[in-house]
Structure 1
Amino acid sequence: MKKSTFLFSLLITLCVFNTLNSQETAALSNDIPQNFKKRSPVYDYSEKHLNNVDTIPDFVSKTNKLKITGTIFESDGVTPAKNVILFIHQTDENGNFELKRENKKRYVHHRGWIKTNADGKYTFYTFVPGSYFNGKEIKQILPIIKAPGQDEKKIESYVFNDDPSLKDSCREDIEKTNPTRILDLTFNKEEGLFIAKRNIILGKEETDSF
């Protein structure tokens, strides 16, 4: 009798787990626009399950390797934001967007996605991009963010403190509004790469540019 009761309880538990898992998967699927060609690249990841660490293509072969870490917070700036997708793309070291094509849709080759856990933390392994338009534009990493139950949003780009193209007037404007987007690079000898940190607050950093 005890064995039958245990097996019945186990069966019920498995059924509940599978139902919840199916509901979560369905919710995520319904959250992704089905028009592949027109939708934002934030939805174009190939992994079934994203995690909070990603590596940009060609990272290993790059000279100025860069590790970016940070925490994504809810709009209160205190509560870690869970299940947030952060997408980035960038130029190569020469300042060119290397474009590729999949199913007749063009995309930037140097790109990556993370999805936060309960602690809101994220890590990208990438490299320092070059300046767009032959050095006339500042070095930037361009992010798009997708919080649960909300539309995707472009947020202010990552820029670099040591970039000679970052003029004083531009720097002053950024420091007044969102100084955390200016990356201070420190070289880590043990890892053999530059490291930088940027925290993000949902609802505070949206932009219409890029």
Structure 2
Amino acid sequence: MKKQIALICFIVVLSFTNKLFAQETSGDKKESPLYDYYEKQLNNTDTIPSFKDQENKLKITGTIYYNDGITPAKDVILYIYQPSEEGHFKTNKENGKKYVEHRGWVKTDEDGRYTFYTFIPGAPYVPLTYPRTLGMKQILPVIKEPGKPEYDFDAFIFDDDPAISSRCRKKLDRIGYKGILKLEKQGNMYVATKDIVLKTGSAMIIASL
């Protein structure tokens, strides 16, 4: 059981992002899925494909700050990708390149603000577990600061997810993990506020709810 908990906490949260992101790239930075957008169409709000058809609609909104934690960061690109509501990564192919269907981009405005309209994903199966075990629900983010290479940061996971045990939470606290989303129901959708403070080569995530 202890080994299984460790797998859920570390394989799912720490390794899964790199695994999926690597599958979408071919080693060339310019072929990273983060760059699969039209620059002129980017703004501080985006809607994930099939959002309107989803049962558990989710709005993620917040402000991205420079590393002083005070100054809003303008023109930062935030890219997210995620599983379907069934927990599977649906993929499409275009011009010989495979990509995750449920994905989106935002570019912060002068106030550092961003908003995604998406949905709560399903839980994927944890690899290397028997019997098969469901892991954490995750939304996987990548950030691109102006003039700097893109990088992954803490996957967004959900505070009310039963897969996050108290033991797992302690492990995540010890490694400084700050990617937990706390949801609030507003009308027909859930809302989570997630502010980001940029740091050199990484990003620190601050939950505002």
Larger CA Rg, structure 1 vs 2? 1
Distance 1:178 1:36, change over 3 A: closer
For residue 105 of structure 1, the aligned residue among 97, 104, 111 is: 97
More helix by share: 1
Partner of 2:4: none
Aligned CA RMSD, in angstroms, stands at 2.0
CA distance in 1, matches of 2:173, 2:165: 12
Q: Deviations over 1:7-29 (max 9, x none)?
A: xxxxxxxxxxxxxxxxxxxxxxx
Q: Deviations over 1:120-161 (max 9, x none)?
A: 011000000001127522110000000001000011110000
Structure 1 residue ranges, 4+ long, deviating more than 4 angstroms after superposition: 35-38
1:155 maps to a residue whose letter is F
Matched pairs, number: 169
CA distance in 1, matches of 2:158, 2:144: 24
Percent identical among aligned pairs is 49
CA distance in 2, matches of 1:94, 1:200: 28
Partner of 2:20: none
Q: Does 1:161 align with 2:159?
A: yes
1:148 maps to a residue whose letter is P
Unaligned runs of 5+ in 2: 1-26, 126-131, 205-209
More strand by share: 2
TM-score, with normalisation over the residues of structure 1? 0.75
CA distance in 2, matches of 1:136, 1:38: 34
Deviation for aligned residue 1:46: 3.5
Partner of 1:145: 143
